[in-house]
Structure 1
Amino acid sequence: MFLREFYSISDGSISIDAQQASLFAKEVAGDFNPLHDPDSKRFCVPGDLLFSLVLEKYGLSEKMNFTFAGMVGHGVKLNFPDTDSECFDITDNSQKTYLQVEKSGTVNRDEKVIEALVRDYVAFSGQNFPYVLVPLLEKENVMINLERPLVIYDSMTVEFTTLNFANPRLNMLQPELEVSGKRGSARLHFQIMEGEDVVGSGYKKLAISGLRPFEAEPMQQFVDNYLARKEKYFAHLPDIDRRQLAC
């Protein structure tokens, strides 16, 4: 599967270095969250990469829930257990849990189907900022801490009515944001389509810290800088090296 370049295997454990994680975030997901920059002091592996690796190893089940319990740093050795259990954890060698997985129902292990879903989901996910999250924050009259932005994956749930599809595409549904003081919880709902048919649905939940009153000008400047950084990165990529880039 195409994910092989984004991790390494040693002594039965999977590890993801900062360069691999950053490459996945930028060139597969179109995600330029500074937390995924190799030189970030708070660097962490994208949650979407962990989600993708679970699908690669265990297949796609009718019902799946992912709870992110910790931020994976550079080179952490992760253990993906050999199990058919409906509930299991992804841990490191010290038994620290980073991801809790629940799954049930029939399983589709078709690599082409899984790759198609992974690519479309992470491209959708990578566009959450700024195109979905910023209008959602503005509606609630709050914004992130622009000096130390912290928006992290909390959980993700997906459920299918059928696994008999080949070219899944995600459609955004109405997002939600709950604000409690300086913290927020966003739910980004989506449908999964095969042609004109709905084959599944789910949502991605984000935890947001450091909220403050919304200020249009500095928020817009932050978004402009984010998009300019993204455009500059892609402008320096030879066409032959470009992967599936988000629009």
Structure 2
Amino acid sequence: MFLNSFYSTDGNSLLISGLQGSRFAKLICDDFNPIHNHDEKSFCVPGDLLFSIVLQRYGLSEHMTFRFTEMLPSNLPLYLPEDTGKAFQIIDSNKTCYLEVERQGGRTVRENCIESLIRCYVRFSGHNFPHILMPLMQENNVMINPRRPFVIYESMSLSMKNLDFNDLDVHLVDASLNTKGKRGEVLLSFQFLGDHQVSGTGTKKLIVAGLREYEQVAVDQMIATYNSYKRSFSGC
């Protein structure tokens, strides 16, 4: 499958290098957040890569929830369980959990079906900043700290009406930001569209912190810096 170059396995052990995680973020998600640069000290593996690997290995169920409980550094072996029921965890050798998965309903392992959903969703997810988050923050008159941006991918869920599709698109339905002091919770609601019909729905939750009053000049600089990362990417 198209994901195979973005991780390696040895039996039930999963390993993702910094370069593999970085390439997935940029080439598949179109996400140029510097936290996914392989040479960053604070590098973490994109949550959407773990999400994608789970779908490839265990299949797509009608109803699924993914909770990202820890940030995953590069080259840390994870255990992929063999016996999975309606709920399982992706953990390391110290039993630290990085991803919790719940699933219900029918299931498909069709590669083209799973690849289509992965590609459209992670592209949508990778475009959350700045395309969705910045207009949402402007609407709420808040912004993240430009020097120390704090945006955490907490969870996502999906509910499919059917598992018989080949090509999907993602359409944003609603976006909200609830703030409490300097912290906030972003909730994105979206639809999976196939053949101009709704094939499923989903939500994604983000946690933001270090919020301050909105400043257009600072926001413009953040966006310009982000776009400069994208322009300088060589595709390696």
* TM-score normalised by the chain length of structure 1: 0.93
* Cross-structure match for 2:147: 147
Greater than 2 Å deviation, 4+ residue runs = none
Q: Distance in 2 between matches of 1:113 and 1:204?
A: 21
Q: Output the CA distance in 2 between the equivalents of 1:10 and 1:109.
A: 21
Any unmatched runs of 5+ in structure 1? 242-247
- Per the alignment, in what secondary structure is the counterpart of residue 174 of structure 1? strand
Q: How many angstroms does 1:12 deviate by? A: 2.8
- Alpha-carbon deviation of 1:210? 1.1
Residue 23 (structure 1) aligns with? 23
Structure-1 separation of matches of 2:151 and 2:144: 8
**Take 2:167 and 2:183, find their aligned partners in 1: how far apart are those partners?**
37
Residue 166 of structure 1 is matched in structure 2 by 166
The aligned counterpart of 2:118 is: 118
2:52 corresponds to: 52
**1:41 counterpart residue number:** 41
Unaligned runs of 5+ in 2: none
Q: Is the 8 A contact 2:45 2:72 kept in 1?
A: yes
Aligned mates of 2:84, 2:20 — CA distance in 1: 28
Matches of 2:150 and 2:40, distance apart in 1:
12
Shift of 1:37: 1.1
Partner of 2:93: 93
Quote the Cα distance in structure 1 between the aligned partners of 2:141 and 2:45. Answer: 30
For residue 225 of structure 1, give the secondary structure of its aligned residue in structure 2.
helix
Q: Secondary structure at the match of 1:2?
A: coil
Deviations along 1:183-221, one digit per CA (max 9) or x if unpaired, are 111011110011111010011111111111111001111
Per-residue CA deviation, residues 93-148 of structure 1 (Å, 9 max, x unaligned), is 11000000000000010011101110111111111110100000111111111111
Query: Once the 2 structures are TM-superposed, how far is the Cα of residue 168 of structure 1 from its aligned partner?
Result: 1.2
Give the letter for the 1:230 counterpart.
Answer: K
1:66 aligns with 2:44: no
Distance across 1 between alignment mates of 2:14 and 2:229: 30
- 2: CA distance, partners of 1:9 / 1:80: 9
- Cα displacement (A) at 1:11: 5.0
Q: Percent identity between the aligned chains?
A: 43
Pairs aligned (count): 236
Counterpart CA distance in 2 for 1:103 and 1:70 is 20
Q: Deviations over 1:139-180 (max 9, x none)?
A: 111111111112111000100111111111111111111111
